[in-house]
Amino acid sequence: MLKSMTGFGRGEYIDSAYRIVVEIKAVNHRYNEIVIRMPKTLGSLEDKVRRSIANTIQRGRVDAFITVDEYGEKKRTVRVDKELAIAYHNAMRELAGLLEMPSSDNIYHISKYPDVFKVEEVPEDVEKLWPKLAAAIESAVANLMKMRETEGANIERDLLERVDKLHTYINTIEERAPQILVEYREKILSRMRELLSSIGAEPDEVRLLQETAIFADRTNFTEEIVRLKSHLSQFKTAVKSPEAVGRKLDFIVQEVNRETNTIASKANDVAIANIVVEIKSEIEKVREQIQNIE
């Protein structure tokens, strides 16, 4: 089943202490590129987050946004900058002596000076947070994949319809091939008669057969028709594969286009040239759709 490369998924984990929200947006990209935006405190978990997403999403650009709200009581500690407090104390005593004033400096005053006391949060062990974050990621990825699969199913239907249309065009070309020789033989015969009528001679049947045989050999595109049918059969099989097949389908379409160009150059026929134009138009539409496939 085909999967689109575009989609959006949201996952959430909530308990009495945390609310974790993960939002994942995916768009078309030639390779697998994962960009993660999350709080700096979770930096040590980035590799785990990346692997968790990459295990499911194999192609496309993925932007993951992670937010964490903490509801529980935060652990804090108060740190005293002893050297700074002593420096403030000595400075106040020096100023009092300079102004010949009694020093009114005390602990209360010193505690109010900038940076003497610093309140710091005790960092949580982020590894303990990982199972909760992993649950939110799993939910977001699952929702993203649902959207990708839904869009992929629509693309699959469209591609199969276009492949059937290509089969019809190829069958028409195959049916037209024998008529090209008949028309060429009649054209050569008509020219011979026109040129020989002035001297009352009849066309040389052997010469006519030789010219027709040369033309038939030069315009024979049977091999290209066989390969085209094989490529389209491979395309249909790949579309049903559970694996990521975007690159494979792109390669098959390139081969279909190459064989079509060869037929156009060999056929030397207006009717087939017109059909080739229609085939190339469908190929371009197929190629555009494939750019959306994982």
Query: Do 238 and 252 touch, CB atoms closer than 8 A?
Result: yes
Residues 283, 157 share a domain: yes
- pLDDT given for residue 123 in this prediction: 57
208, part of any domain: yes
Q: Residues 186, 211: one domain?
A: yes
Do 158 and 200 sit in the same domain of this protein?
A: yes
Same-domain status, 129 and 169: no
pLDDT at res. 218: 66
Using alpha carbons, select from 245, 250, 262 the residue that is nearest to residue 2: 245
Q: Is 99 helix (H, G, I), strand (E, B) or coil?
A: coil
On whether residue 2 sits in a domain, the answer given is: no
pLDDT at 2: 86
Same domain for 211 and 275? yes
Residues 140 and 156 in one domain: no
pLDDT at 121: 64
Closest CA to 40 of 76, 79, 4, 66: 66
Q: In this structure, are 100 and 180 located in the same domain?
A: no
* Any domain includes 171: yes
pLDDT on residue 16: 85
The closest of 148, 144, 129 to 63, measured between CA atoms, is: 144
Give the integer Cα–Cα distance in Å for 168 and 165.
5
Q: How far apart are CA 250 and CA 238, in angstroms?
A: 11
Spans of the chain below 70 pLDDT = 72-76, 100, 102-106, 108, 119-124, 181-219
- Total domain count, the chain: 3
11 and 143 together in one domain: yes
Token duo for residue 74? 């935060």
- Residue 1 belongs to some domain of the structure: no
CATH of the domain at 36: 3.30.230
Indicate whether 169 and 39 sit together in one domain: no
Residue 54 lies in a domain: yes
Would residue 160 count as lying in a domain?
yes
In this structure, are 254 and 221 located in the same domain?
A: yes
Contacts with 95 (C-beta within 8 Å, 6 or more apart), sequence order: none
> pTM of the prediction?
0.68
Question: Which pair of structure tokens corresponds to residue 287?
Answer: 């190629």
pLDDT attached to residue 164? 94
- Please tell me the distance from the alpha carbon of residue 4 to that of residue 10, in angstroms, as a whole number: 17
Residue 117 covered by a domain: yes
Cα–Cα distance for residue pair 279/224, rounded to 1 Å: 14
Domain that holds residue 102: 76-121
Here the tokens at position 233 are 């059969």
- Residue 24 and residue 58 share a domain: yes
* In-domain check, residue 45: yes
Shared-domain flag, residues 205 and 251: yes
